[in-house]
Structure 1
Amino acid sequence: MFDCGVHPAHSGMSCLPYFDHINPQEVDLLLVTHFHLDHSGAVPLGYFVSRTEFKGKVFMTHPTRPICKMLWQDYARVSKIAAEDQIFSSEDIGKTVEQIELLDYHEERQFRGIKFSCFRAGHVLGAAMFMINIGGIRVLYTGDYSREEDRHLPQAEIPNVRIHVLIVESTYGVMNHEPREQREQRFTNSVHQIVRQGGKCLLPVFALGRAQEILLILEDYWERNSDLHEIPIFYNSPMATKCLRIFETYTNMCSLSVQEQANRCNNPWILKYIQNMPDRSS
């Protein structure tokens, strides 16, 4: 099984995959490409005989597991549904995290005659494309991927082997996006114009991935524009703050520019012009 997510527009049992259309007992491996809930949100359910008969193993990359744990806990906490409709509890999450096995990019494993390995997918920290080899037939499942290098992540790899079957994510497969440099310039020009006129920018951003990208863009732009140095930037996301610690741990999986800054003994995630929102409760 590749990925095991929940439907983001539904809640309770209606958000789950159609487990009744498969026999979970026949699934040997569950390979999770990344931490987004539409790819990982139903994983805690799959371990318990009372709910499914899955007896296989679950694999994901090293950064994916701790971020999954945070997202699952947050999902269980904010789901405003009756207790009987909760798809998993905090206890389920704890047991699940203990049983997840980890692997590195390009590391080959074997289980019940299935050879599998993973490649960098871009998209978010730790995202992986999985290649499985069964009887000499190689299948590549991309999950969500990006061939564009971001500020904080490298682009997806192209495996240097022949693929017999390709299962590819194609959400934006029919869209053309303007180059990243143009998007960044349009964004920073808008921010600069607003703050120069005495205004305030409020930026609602996904806490994982997008937030880190925006932080690096703003940090770099502030550094290059001295007239902005006295204008503070605050971000208000406890989850994003926690995830910065994970990004620090796995800087070697980030973009080359982030790695180069780390090699110069500068922590790229200690930001000079950006700080947490002040605590006004005291």
Structure 2
Amino acid sequence: MAGRTVMFDCGAHFGFRDARRFPEFGLLSRAGRFTEIIDAVVITHFHTDHLGALPYFTEVCGYQGPILMTYPTFAIAPMMLEDYVKVNADRPGERLPYNEQHVRECLRRVTAVDLHQVVAVAPGLSFTFHYAGHVLGAAMVHMTAGHLTALYTGDFNSSPDRHLGPAEPLLPPGGPSGAALRRPDVLISEATYAATLRDSKRARERDLLSAVVETVSAGGKVLIPTFAMGRAQELLMLITDCWERNGLQVPVYFSSAMASRALVYYQLLLNWTNANVRRTIFGAAGSAVDGGGGGGGGGGQPTVDGRRRSDYRTEGTEGGGGGGGDGRSSGEEVPYDGRFKDDDDDDDDKEQEEYGSADEYEEGSEEGKGGVSGSGGGGGADPDMKGYDKR
């Protein structure tokens, strides 16, 4: 567009175990002249289907140009990419063409940005990131190339969930460049469920909680396989709220190193979440959930089993960066430098449908091992969930 070439996201496909898991970069340049051809790479969020090919593109294919992502994405990317490397290293014949050292070198090339910060990477080419919901740090990207504009949504939520708000309206009427943002020359939107009719998320949550309460009230244990980053934290909040409503005294555990480490990022990046996270996961003062592994706190308080690993940041990168401030800048332009119950979530469905079965991905993967479990018999519960807020 306007003589510029931009790559939006650089992801891996879980449905393939060979070279097809990465984009066919050779279509861009048979000679491998990617830095000359591509003006910038923009990553919208940390999910591997949007990020997983980036170290391959930079360290193997040789791209050395600008790479932009938000601070939370930059902070969480090392954990996601290193996990992806380790999972595939344990599978014969499926080792990735990049390693953990490649991940570190790749992320040293990244420029982390705030929301609403205008980042100019070349004359006449700039980007502005806008809050997208979906996962911690996800952004929609508005691009200006000469006199033309484009909006790339990435994955976004149009309604709030329990730990993140909805995608922001792109500048209110009368705001700077408001008309251009509301009506770009090019709009690229995700449409995974554009033509799919689904039961409301509230109804599905109520069905899940009804089964959970019925089981723990009878003295049983519940294991919920779920993705460790984002969905596990939302489930923790959902279950904690359910415990409070039903007077349950049942411990909740994360049986995952990645889920435990994810809480560190949620604490560092609270300004990207909502008040529910501070109240439910960290308490009113924002203090961290106990990760000591002893577990079993009373009063319905969640307990995280953090015994597997304590490291959460890649050596040589600014893994914890970006936690200060309010995530928004002044808008100045800066130069580039026991009983099975399916947890039927949109994000989980999306990854399974696009990349093959969840079982294939979960085996050996910390990202797929974010199990949330509850055990014990609380008594006095409401198996029919009459007290559950249906709003």
What TM-score do the two structures reach when normalised by structure 2?
0.66
Which of 150, 174, 177 is the matching residue for 2:161? Answer: 150
2:265 maps to a residue whose letter is: I
How far residue 57 of structure 1 moved from its aligned partner, in angstroms, is 0.7
Report the counterpart of residue 237 of structure 2 in structure 1: 216
Superposed CA offset, 1:131-169 (max 9, x none): 101112110001111112011111112213332211000
- Partner SS, residue 95 of structure 1: helix
Report the counterpart of residue 374 of structure 2 in structure 1: none
Distance change (3 Å), C-alpha of 1:278 and 1:254? closer
- Contact 2:260–2:305 at 8 Å: present in 1 too? no
Looking at both structures, which has the greater relative contact order when contacts are Cα pairs under 8 Å and sequence separation is at least 6? Answer: 2
Which of 274, 285, 301 is the matching residue for 1:273? Answer: 301
Report the counterpart of residue 122 of structure 1 in structure 2: 133
- Contact 1:121–1:146 at 8 Å: present in 2 too? yes
Report the counterpart of residue 31 of structure 1 in structure 2: 42
Matches within 5 A, 1:1-282: 1-23=7-29, 24-25=34-35, 26-48=37-59, 51-79=60-88, 80-81=90-91, 85-112=95-122, 113-160=124-171, 161=181, 162-226=183-247, 228-229=248-249, 231-258=250-277, 265-267=284-286, 270=289, 273-277=301-305
% identical aligned pairs:
33
Report the counterpart of residue 378 of structure 2 in structure 1: none
How far residue 258 of structure 1 moved from its aligned partner, in angstroms, is 3.3
- Partner SS, residue 88 of structure 1: coil
- Partner SS, residue 59 of structure 1: strand
Whole-angstrom CA distance in 2 between matches of 1:158 and 1:118: 12
Distance change (3 Å), C-alpha of 1:200 and 1:249? same
Distance change (3 Å), C-alpha of 1:4 and 1:212? same
Whole-angstrom CA distance in 2 between matches of 1:264 and 1:72: 30
5+ residue gaps, structure 2? 1-6, 172-180, 291-299, 309-391
Whole-angstrom CA distance in 2 between matches of 1:54 and 1:141: 22
How far residue 53 of structure 1 moved from its aligned partner, in angstroms, is 3.9
Moved more, 81-90 or 101-110: 81-90
| Greater helix proportion | 1
1:270 maps to a residue whose letter is: V
Superposed CA offset, 1:13-65 (max 9, x none): 331100010032301100000111110001111223xx324231101011111
How far residue 238 of structure 1 moved from its aligned partner, in angstroms, is 0.5
- Partner SS, residue 201 of structure 1: strand
5+ residue gaps, structure 1? none
Whole-angstrom CA distance in 1 between matches of 2:106 and 2:26: 21
- Partner SS, residue 145 of structure 1: coil
What TM-score do the two structures reach when normalised by structure 1?
0.90
Whole-angstrom CA distance in 1 between matches of 2:157 and 2:93: 38
